[in-house]
């Protein structure tokens, strides 16, 4: 009788393992969704910037983010926004349009990513300004957010 009871469980367990194996083969590669989500956030920052709306740009940052530039590092979104307004938004909107090039998203685990690329500021009758950046992203309840920006 014991053998019959054990064999009753073998078929369902085997079926469950086969289903899981098939699902694993057809599931997207780890990080594929994160890559697309992070790129979408970056696209929204550039779109907001180019509309003259700093809020979508700032929404990419976690409240406790650090950002560095030519004058050193600042902590928190209020300080990051102040730096943007002082350096790029002196007249209430940016002097040039923003786009990103050469983006690379490298997963550092399930919830963290290293993102590198080049920003390009162009237009406004001014010479293009470009620079390379390295950012660290963390997946939070509200989505992917930058926790460190070195531009």
Tens digits of pLDDT across the chain (151 residues): 455 454 444 344 333 433 343 333 333 344 569 999 999 999 999 999 999 999 999 999 999 999 997 778 999 999 999 988 888 887 888 999 999 999 999 999 999 999 999 999 999 999 999 999 999 999 999 999 999 999 8
d(CA 119, CA 101): 6
Q: Are 54 and 92 in contact (CB under 8 A)?
A: no
Q: Are 97 and 49 in contact (CB under 8 A)?
A: yes
Is the pTM value of this prediction over 0.85? no
> What residues are paired with 136 via a beta bridge?
114, 148
| Residue-range domains of the chain with CATH | 32-150 (3.10.450.50)
HSE (side-chain half, CA atoms, 13 Å) at 110: 0
């Amino acid at each position: 009788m014991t053998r019959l009871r054990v064999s009753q469980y073998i078929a369902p367990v085997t079926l469950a393992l086969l289903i899981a194996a098939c699902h694993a083969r057809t599931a997207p590669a780890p990080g594929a969704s994160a890559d697309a989500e992070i790129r979408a956030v970056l696209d929204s920052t550039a779109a907001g910037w180019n509309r003259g709306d700093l809020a979508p740009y700032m929404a990419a940052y976690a409240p406790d983010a650090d950002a560095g530039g030519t004058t050193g590092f600042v902590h928190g979104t209020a300080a990051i926004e102040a730096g943007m307004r002082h350096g790029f938004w002196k007249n209430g909107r940016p002097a040039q349009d923003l786009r990103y090039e050469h983006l690379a998203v490298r997963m550092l685990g399930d919830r963290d990513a290293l993102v590198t690329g080049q920003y390009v500021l162009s237009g406004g009758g001014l010479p293009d300004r470009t620079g390379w950046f390295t950012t660290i992203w963390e997946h939070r309840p509200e989505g992917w957010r930058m926790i460190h920006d070195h531009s």
